[in-house]
Amino acid sequence: MNRDNVDAFEKLSGQLLSIYEEVSLLSKKNPNDAVNKFKLKFVNSLISQSNGFLSDKYKPFEDFNEFDEDDIPQNSDVVFILSQYLQCFEKLRADNVIIKGGYWFWRIEGREDDNVDDDGMVLIRTVKPKKLKD
């Protein structure tokens, strides 16, 4: 991981979480309703970017790349897929963070003057990975 990867991670995971929360609300009311094409375009864009970022190691499904715009998915389908992507982002976070002094940090490549650990890895503060036991 490097600083650009951390920035991309934070942006993509935040956007995924936001869309997941919105579609989850719709899914609770009407799980079988179709997602409109406007929203689906953005969902597919984020999934495509996430696939490139996560690579094969963290991508949730080997054979899923995006929703078919001609076969509009239901709200519950989108929630299911987005939840898998969010879990994979958290796995990536868990694999690349440490706890130091009670705070969580990304360990990234490179050297900077502040927050460098004993191995010369730069530390960037982050949040605790979800569902990670202390």
Condensed to tens digits (0 to 9), the pLDDT of residues 33-70 reads: 999 999 999 999 999 999 999 999 999 999 999 999 99
Residue range of the domain that includes 62: 3-96
Q: Does residue 117 sit within a domain?
A: no
Please state the pTM of the whole predicted model.
0.87
Q: Does residue 128 sit within a domain?
A: no
Q: Does residue 67 sit within a domain?
A: yes
Q: Does residue 109 sit within a domain?
A: no
Q: What angle do CA 77, 80, 83 make, to 5 degrees?
A: 145
Q: Does residue 92 sit within a domain?
A: yes
User: Which residue type, as a one-letter code, is found at position 48?
Assistant: S
Domain count, the chain: 1
